Amino acid sequence: MTQPSIRVLIVDDQAIVRKGTMALLAQMDGITVVGEAANGQEAIDQATTLKPDVILMDLVMPKVDGIAAIQQISASQPKVRILALTSFATDDKVFPAIKAGALGYLLKDAEPEELVTAIHQVYRGEPSLPPNIARKLLREIRQPPPHTQPIPDPLTARELEVLSLVAKGLDNQTIANRLTVTEVTVRTHISHILDKLHLANRVQATLYALRTGLTSLENGSAEEG
């Protein structure tokens, strides 16, 4: 069965970046650019109107910046996957973007193949973080969490197992094959994990697993199954 085309919204305040990205993605099978926005407010409006699958979100923009736009879109449309696409890899940009709900983070100087791969990863609900960004996040999560965070509900043994596999970068179907369950069951487990831990997405679940020692970057790279 033919897979549906991934509907992408491009958000950047620089027209040349938007047009260049649109031209690049127009050459890619399985990806359709459904719209563009020049600032965060336009992104929020377009996301509501167009309901894209994936949003490529610049972080530094007028009117409403990318972080605020990610927060609002993630809150109102949790099924939309957001990939932060920016020129900056500084801590004050990476951490807020992930905490706001971005599922991936990619620098604008990445190769076209990296961008296409990242779009497919976040569309599948998988984190997309380059190694240098992952290292930054690891340094951040080594800091103790604020005491103001809600106390998470305990996870069951099976939920811990699923979380460990999510943190290793495995997709839902691979996890289902590993555990000899259906993909629907895996999605249900992940939903329960996010609810119990008060987390927004798989990236934050992976960070939780790293923080608590359930996995590490050394054994947490993607595996094939």
In this predicted structure, what is the pLDDT of residue 14?
93
Q: How confident is the model at residue 135 (pLDDT cuts 50, 70, 90)?
A: low
Residue 214 CA, distance from chain mean position: 20
The secondary structure of residue 128, as a DSSP letter, is: B
In this predicted structure, what is the pLDDT of residue 143?
53
Closest to 201 (Cα-Cα) out of 103, 59, 60: 103
Cα gap 122→81, rounded to integer Å: 6
Q: Average model confidence (pLDDT) for the chain?
A: 83
In this predicted structure, what is the pLDDT of residue 179?
93
Average pLDDT over residues 146-171: 75
How does pLDDT run across 8-22, given as a tens digit for each residue? 999 999 999 999 999
**Domains present along the chain, CATH in parentheses:** 6-140 (3.40.50.2300), 146-211 (1.10.10.10)
How does pLDDT run across 136-158, given as a tens digit for each residue? 665 665 554 544 455 567 888 89
How does pLDDT run across 25-50, given as a tens digit for each residue? 999 999 999 999 999 999 999 999 99
Burial of 132 (0-12, 13-18, 19+ CB in 10 A): exposed
Residue 220 CA, distance from chain mean position: 16
Half-sphere exposure of 88 (CA within 13 A, CB side): 14
How does pLDDT run across 45-82, given as a tens digit for each residue? 999 999 999 999 998 888 888 989 999 998 888 889 99
In this predicted structure, what is the pLDDT of residue 36?
96
In this predicted structure, what is the pLDDT of residue 11?
96
Three-class SS state of 145: coil
Average pLDDT over residues 113-129: 89
Query: For residue 112, is pLDDT > 70?
Result: yes
Closest to 203 (Cα-Cα) out of 133, 87, 116, 101: 101
Report how far apart the first and last C-alpha atoms of the chain are (Å, whole number).
22
In this predicted structure, what is the pLDDT of residue 147?
45
In this predicted structure, what is the pLDDT of residue 216?
59
Burial of 203 (0-12, 13-18, 19+ CB in 10 A): buried
Q: How confident is the model at residue 172 (pLDDT cuts 50, 70, 90)?
A: confident
Closest to 56 (Cα-Cα) out of 86, 99, 16, 94: 86
Cα gap 63→73, rounded to integer Å: 15
Average pLDDT over residues 126-145: 65
How does pLDDT run across 94-105, given as a tens digit for each residue? 778 887 888 888
* C-beta atoms surrounding 10 within 10 Å: 26
Pairing type for strands 54-57 and 31-37 reads unpaired
| Strand residue runs (E) in the chain | 6-11, 31-37, 54-57, 81-86, 104-107
Q: How confident is the model at residue 224 (pLDDT cuts 50, 70, 90)?
A: very low
Helices 131-141 and 91-100 meet at what angle, rounded to 10? 80
Q: What is the chain's length?
A: 225
